[in-house]
Structure 1
Amino acid sequence: MYTMRIAVITPHTLMNLGLKHLFQRYFDVTPALYNRADGFFNDTPEQFDAYILQPDLLVAYSDFFLPRKSKIMLLTTHCETATETFAPALPVHENEEAMLERIERFIEQLDRQSENLNHDLSPRETEVLKLVAKGFMNKEIADQLNISINTVLSHRKNLTAKLGIKTVSGLSFYAMMNGYISDIDNK
């Protein structure tokens, strides 16, 4: 059985412990707790399926968190409309029942995403997706991966079929939003 890996990153020890208690008691998940961002980033941050953090941390480390926005729940002092449109909010002043409902919806969303995220991409299709998203042309992808251009075209055709995305910009956006690449690098 797969256990979801969640990181809770706040400077507030009591908040961290309270969230850990809620996750353990109601969702049978033990989140990793971090009081400092440097501790989190020194501990292989890519390993987590979800991140619970405050908006200021999201802003400070946007290069890491923005590509993973679909895996983020923001801790807020109240439910702010702007925050809620970016990521699910977890207002810290809500009662326990309301918090549990929000957490449950977040976990259900993560489950749906994990079912849809992979789309059964092969490792080679994933490599091609990353290179397409970084702006490489078919010939450059073929050279980089030591495969023929026809094989690259076949992988791109498979990506289009599996993801339902036909454009380079669409594939790039998909790759960024799903954590395949952290930003669009120059070659």
Structure 2
Amino acid sequence: MSHDLTPREVEIVRLISLGCTVKEISKIVGLAVSTIDTHRGNAMEKLGVGNMALLTRMAIKHRICKLNEKLTPAEKRKRGRKRDGWN
């Protein structure tokens, strides 16, 4: 499936669909929270969705993220969350 997302927007959508918060994504990619919010908003507009649940569904539909995909070990370290049983 095609989409008009930039590589950075794809990365942000992937991390959101894997359960990361905007603050965690900021730590992982090294950008300001406001920048992450901007990329997320742009991606949502391009995909025509209005909430995070639909954004996750579109990530799967457009093969940005697979159902069984998990964060990489490096992403887990940068995220800073303790073991929570998810990812």
Given the two structures, how large is their TM-score scaled by the length of structure 2? 0.74
Name the amino acid aligned to 1:177: K
Q: 1:159 & 1:136 partners in 2: Cα distance?
A: 16
Q: Identity percentage over the alignment?
A: 28
Match of 1:174 in 2: 58
Q: How many residues align?
A: 71
Give the RMSD, CA atoms, in angstroms: 1.4
Unaligned runs of 5+ in 2: 71-85
CA displacement, residues 120-172 of structure 1 (integer Å, 9 cap, x when unaligned) = 21100000000011110000011010000000000011012111112111111
Unaligned runs of 5+ in 1: 1-113
Name the amino acid aligned to 1:130: R
Structure with a larger share of its residues in strand: 1
CA displacement, residues 26-48 of structure 1 (integer Å, 9 cap, x when unaligned) = xxxxxxxxxxxxxxxxxxxxxxx
Residue 138 of structure 1 pairs with residue 22 of structure 2 = yes
* Bigger RCO of structures 1 and 2 (CA < 8 A, at least 6 apart): 2
Given the two structures, how large is their TM-score scaled by the length of structure 1? 0.36
Match of 2:48 in 1: 164
Secondary structure of residue in 1 paired with 2:36: helix
Match of 2:7 in 1: 123
